[in-house]
Amino acid sequence: MDQKKRWLVLSVLVIALLGCSIPSNLSRLMVLTPAPTATPTAIPTATPAPTLSPETAPISPGGIEGLEQEFIQVYEKAGPGVVNITNRSYAYDFFFRPVPQEGTGSGIVYDQEGHIITNYHVIEGAEELYVTLPDETTVEAKVVGADPSNDLAVLKVEADPDLLHPIPLGESKNLRVGQFVVAIGNPFGFERTLTVGVISALGRVIQSPDDRFIGEIIQTDAAINPGNSGGPLLDLSGRVIGVNTAIFSPSQASAGIGFAVPVDTVRRVVPELIARGYYPHPWLGINMAWSLTPERRQILEEVGMEVPVDQGLLIMEVAPDGPAARAGLRGGQQRVRIGNRILLIGGDILTAIDGQPIATDQDLLRYLDTQTTVGQTVQLTIWRDNQERTISVTLGERPR
């Protein structure tokens, strides 16, 4: 027996002794290296999944259908109370021929007497105004009152009361971030379009059409586009919680950041617009003020003014015979150049109203507009001659 056959017989005997089977197609000897023995590892005990409360549990299919039904009901309830507003003005061509120019916005039916709530910027500069009702009837409208500082206006139309469907007003003081909201309006002229989102933030401040500030603004991610202005922002009960007024967007279309004037402001302003034609804004009578910061404090001290606080409003000028002047507040008496500005220094420093800190003129205007009324007496905390004082001031009406 040659050497090759001996090795084959020996291999067969070894495999047989080990109880292994021989592959039927064995053509060459294969040496197998045993796999290393694995160290046993304990299997972790599974932690039971937490039981979710109804508030945190995922929405069941039935819950989704229920939410969907709520959106549908809001649209069916409030949709007929949303109108389309056309603002028409005229320009003139080279030959002095009138060329009509139009813009569109939205409005909210306020009552069956024909009052329509919208934004001031929707009707600004209009020579003619028209309102299109849900049945496609178009009627001429006139301006009853307007308030650029809150970007609100009220129109009046003569129409069959049966065609007017007022939308109830809710409240905005108890709103919460994350709450579902619905916007209805006429974006790009597409009438009564519904979009859905949530309240993204509360208490925002935006600039008004007259370069002042509107406070307590509602921010939402519900899609708002040109043409939505003046339309309602609604809760899931179909009540108005805000009037859509502006967007923040580099493209001038919805970028998920929209703003609405809160309905508590609407409740305060609209009745005055209907009764007076304007809203009487509370006025303190401070014409000029400069917001203090630690850096500005250092600059002022370098020019010789003692500044005992890092935050507040340096009063530079008070209106002659205005509320602040009558109460004894002092403006600046010394002119100094700081950078490219001429400032009046040496006046009182306002730090709080009724105990609420005031750091900027924005804070001042927002507090006056949202928390006070004409004729109300407020307590001002000021610093004068390195002493803190409290002065009572009765608010007047801001000159129009």
SS3 breakdown of the chain: % helix, strand, coil, rounded to 5? 20, 35, 40
Active-site position among 106, 115, 121, 147: 121
Question: In terms of residues, how long is the chain?
Answer: 400
Active-site position among 151, 235, 264, 348: 151
Is residue 135 part of the annotated active site? The answer reads no
Identify the H or E element spanning 264.
Answer: helix 263-276
222-248 burial, b if ≥16 CB within 10 A, otherwise e?
bbbbbbbbbbbbbbeebbbbbbbbbbe
- The dihedrals phi and psi of 261, each to the nearest 5 degrees, come to -70, 125
Q: Are 143 and 131 in contact (CB under 8 A)?
A: no
| Backbone angle region of 252, left / alpha / beta, with phi > 0 → left and psi within -120 to 50 → alpha | left
Q: Supply 286's token pair.
A: 């401070």
* C-alpha distances out from residue 318 to 69, 306, 315, 331, Å: 56, 20, 7, 6
Helix residue spans in the chain (DSSP H) = 3-18, 61-78, 120-123, 263-276, 294-302, 323-326, 361-371
Give the span between the Cα atoms of 148 and 261, in whole angstroms. 12
Is residue 229 part of the annotated active site? The answer reads yes
Give the span between the Cα atoms of 238 and 74, in whole angstroms. 5
Q: Number of C-alpha atoms within 13 angstroms, CB side, residue 212? A: 17
Active-site position among 106, 229, 254, 281: 229
> Which residues carry out catalysis?
121, 151, 229
